[in-house]
Amino acid sequence: MRRRDFLLHGAAAGAALANAPAFAQAPKTVSLWHIYNNDSDMIHLGIRKFHEAQTDYRIEQRLVPYVQINPELIRAIATGSPPDLVTINDPDLASYSSQGQFTDLTDRVAASKVIDVNKYFKGPQTSDRWKGRQYSVAREVNTLSLYYNVDMFRAKGLDPDKPPTTWSELAAAAEKLADPAKGVYGLGFAAQQSEQSTFQWLPWLWQAGGSIDKLDQPEAAEALGFWADLVQRKLTSRDVINQPQGDVMSAFLAGNSAMVVNGPWELPRFRREVKFEWRVTLLPVKDGRNIRASSLGGFHFAIPKGAKEVDGAFRVIEAMSDPALFREGWSASGLLAPRSDIEIADPAWPQAYAVFREQMKTAIQRGPHPQWSQLSRPIQTAIQEALTGTKPAAQALKEAAAKIQPILARTPL
C-alpha cells in the first residue's frame, strides 16, 4: 500500500470509530515528520495501529528526505511553526536539547506505563539525555559488525565457522582473501568525508582503548594506523575514502570485497542482490585489549519546543514503542529495537540478528555533545589524511586533537 493509502485507511477507521459515541470530539492532529521513505517501514504500521486504538488524535505525517530533516526542522523552528513530533539522528540530539529546542520528557517517561527507561540499551539511554534530563526517546537503533563472504572463505581455505576475532586475524584473513587479479579486496569500510567515516572508525578507536578526548595518545594512532596499513597493503581499496556505507555494501554484494564492516540496515538488500553464502560476526577486538565496542546509530523521537500537541505526540511515541512493531522494523528495514527486553522470535536473517543484538550491548553513542559535528570533522580529516598517506596517522590525529581540545574544554563529553 502506498503512503497515502495508509493515511486514508487510518482516517476511515478513525472516522468510523468517531461516529459511534454521540459525544465524541473531533480528533486533534499530531503532526509527525519522519524520514522513512520505505513503504514497509514499521512507522506506517505504527500509525495504523495508533489510529485503530484511539480516537483522540490523528497523525498527519510528512515524509522529509533524510538529508533535509535538520534544515527543515530548523526552518520550522525559525518561523515558530515546529511539528509536534520529529525523528532526529542520534548525534544531532544534543545540539537541539542543549539549546532548549526539545521538550523535556523526563517526567512523562517516568510516569509512562509503556516506556521503561531501564530496559533501553545503554547507548540510546545516554544519547536521549542531556544534563540528567531526557529529551528524546529512541525509536530504533543500529550498530556495526563484520559481514563476511562464506563462499570466498571456503575458496581460500579459511574456516567460515571461525571468523576473525582479533585485529591480527582480521588482517591475516584479508590478506588471504584479497585477489587483485579478480578485483577483490579483503576488507571494506566507509571513509567518506562525512559523519559516516567517524561512525565507522570510532569502534576501532574504542577497542584500542582510546577515546575522543585523547586522540593524541598512542591508542588512537594504533587504531588509525590499522586502517591506513590495510589501505597501504592494498587489502582495502583506496576508494573507500570516497564511499559511504551503502557503496561499501554494494562492493560486498558485487563480490568485490570479501569482508565489510557495516550495519543491519543493509540486510533488506540481501533479499534480491546476494548470490553467495554470507554471515555476520562481532567486530574483531584488538589483540591483548579485548575491549568490545561498536558504534551506535539510529533515529529518535523528539517533541520540539513550541509543539502544539505535546500530550498527543507523547502518546504517539508510546504507541511506537510497541514491541509488535519491531518485527516489521527488522524484516523490512533491518532496524533493531532500542530495548534489550524486546527480542523477535524467529526473525529474518536469524544469524545476523543474533550477532547484531549481541553487538548492541557494547554499542557506544557518539557524544552526546552539542557540537558533535565540530568534533567529528577533524576526525574525518585525520582519517582521510592517514588513508591517502598525506600524513602519518599519529601526526594527523595530533592535529585533530588540537582542534578538538578547545571545544571539549568548553563543554566536556
Partner 1 sequence: MSERSPLLYVFLLVPVGYLVSLIGFPILYNLVMSLQEVNLGNIDTLWRPFLGLQNYRDALADPTFRKVFVNTLVFVSANVIGQVGIGCLVAVAFTRDFAGAHFLRGLLLAAWLLPALVVGTVWKWLFATQSGVINYFLASLGLIASPVHWLSDPSMAMTALNIAHIWFGMPFSMILIAAALTSIPDELYEAAALDGAGVLARFRFVTLPAISPALLAVACLVTISSLRAFDVIFAMTHGGPLDSTNVLPLFSYQASFQDFDFGHGAAIGMFAFVIVFAVALLYVRLAYREQEL
Partner 2 sequence: MRHRAPPGWAARHWPALIAWAGVAIYLFPIYWMIVSGFKTQAEIFADPPTLIPHDPTLEAFHYVLVRENILRYLRNSVMIALPVTVITVCLAAIGAYAMSRLRTRLVDAALIAVLLLQVFPEALLATPVFIIFKSIGLVNTIPAVVLATSTRSLAFALVILRPMFRQVPIELEEASRVDGCTTLQTFLQIVVPLMRVPLMVVAAITFAQAYGQFVYPLTLLSSHELQPGTVGIYGFIGAEVSDWHRVMAFASLFVLPILALFLLLQNKIVSGITAGALK
Q: Is 385 in the site for partner 1 (CB under 8 A)?
A: yes
On whether the CB atoms of residues 327 and 335 are closer than 8 A, the answer is: no
Nearer to partner 1, 137 or 387 (CB): 387
DSSP string covering 43-86 = HHHHHHHHHHH-SSEEEEEEE--GGGHHHHHHHHHHTT---SEE
Name the minimum Å distance from CB 228 to partner 2: 23
Between 238 and 289, CB nearer to partner 1 = 238
Quick one: 10 or 82, whose CB is closer to partner 1?
82
**150 φ, ψ to 5°?**
-65, -40
Tell me how far the alpha carbon of residue 192 is from its chain's centroid: 16
Q: Which of 192, 245, 294, 365 binds partner 1 (CB under 8 A)?
A: 192
In angstroms, give the least distance from the CB of 357 to partner 1: 31
Among 55, 145, 200, 381, binds partner 1 (CB under 8 A): 381
Of the candidates 29, 40, 54, 70, which one interacts with partner 1 according to CB under 8 A?
70
Name the nearest CA neighbour of 56 among 6, 105, 93, 21. Answer: 21
Q: How far is the CB of 123 from partner 2 (least distance, A)?
A: 17
Residues that bind partner 2 in the complex, under the rule CB under 8 A: 2-4, 35-39, 62-63, 65-68, 71-72, 74-75, 78-79, 81, 89, 142, 183, 245-247, 250-251, 253-256, 263, 265-266, 268-269, 272-275, 297, 299
Q: Which of 22, 26, 78, 409 binds partner 1 (CB under 8 A)?
A: 78
Distance CA 239, CA 98 (A): 37
Q: Binders of partner 1 among 81-120, rule CB under 8 A?
A: 95-96, 99-101
User: If DSSP codes are grouped into helix, strand and coil, which group holds residue 403?
Assistant: helix
What the block records as the C-alpha cell of 5 is 493509502
405 binds, among partner 2, partner 1, none (CB under 5 to 8 A by kind): none
Nearest of 226, 236, 238, 215 to residue 395 by alpha carbon: 215
CB-neighbour burial class of residue 52 (10 A; exposed 0-12, middle 13-18, buried 19+): middle
Grid cell, residue 55, equals 480516537
Check residue 207 for interaction with partner 1 (CB under 8 A): no
Cβ nearer to partner 2, comparing 64 with 230: 64
Q: By CB under 8 A, which span of 134-142, 143-151, 317-325, 373-381 interacts with partner 1?
A: 373-381
Q: Which stretch binds partner 1 (CB under 8 A): 111-119, 240-248, 260-268, 320-328?
A: 240-248
Residues 220 and 410: their CA atoms lie apart, in Å, by: 22
Of 208, 192, 143, 54, the residue nearest 355 (C-alpha):
143
Beta carbons of 226 and 154 less than 8 angstroms apart = no
Say which entry of partner 2, partner 1, none residue 40 contacts (CB below 5 to 8 A, set by partner kind): none
CA distance 241 to 377: 14
User: C-alpha 184: how far from its chain's center?
Assistant: 27
Residues that bind partner 1 (CB under 8 A): 70-71, 74, 77-80, 95-96, 99-101, 183, 192-194, 237-242, 251, 254, 256, 306, 371, 373-374, 377, 381, 384-385, 388, 390
